[in-house]
Amino acid sequence: MKPILLITVILLSISCNAQPDKQQKDTPTTTLSRTQNATTEANWPSPNKYVEGIPVYESYSDIAPMFALKNDTTYVINFWATWCQPCVKELPHFEQLTEKYKDSKVKVVLVSLDFPKQLESKLVPFVKKHELKSTVVTLLDGKYNDWIDKVSKEWSGAIPATLFYRADQQYFLGHSVESTEELENVLNNYIH
Partner 1 sequence: MKLLQLFVFSLAAFVAVSCGNPANAEQTTEATNTEKTDTQAEAQTVANTAPGKVSVGDKAPDFNLKNVDGEMYSFENIKDANGEAPKGYIIVFTCNTCPYAVASEQRIIDLHNKYAPMGYPVVAIQPNDPAAQPGDSYEAMKERATEMEYPFLYLFDEGQKVYPIYGATRTPEVYLVDAKQIVRYHGAIDDSVRDAENVEEKFVEKAIEALEKGQEPKPAKTKAVGCSIKTV
Rule CB under 8 A: which residues touch partner 1?
A: 1, 5, 8-9, 12, 15-16, 19, 36, 40-43, 64-65, 67-68, 70, 79, 83-86, 113, 115, 142-146, 148-150, 152-160, 165, 168-176
Cβ 8 to partner 1 shortest distance, Å? 7
List the 106-112 sheet strands across, edge first.
49-51, 54-57, 135-139, 106-112, 74-80, 161-166, 169-173
* Closer Cβ to partner 1, 113 or 136, answer by number: 113
C-beta of 70 vs 129, nearer to partner 1: 70
Contacts of 11 (CB under 8 A, 6+ apart): none
Burial letters 78-104, b for 16+ CB under 10 A, else e: bbbbbebeebbebbebbbbbbeebeee
User: Which of 95, 114 has the CB closer to partner 1?
Assistant: 114
User: Closest distance between partner 1 and the C-beta of residue 182, in Å?
Assistant: 14
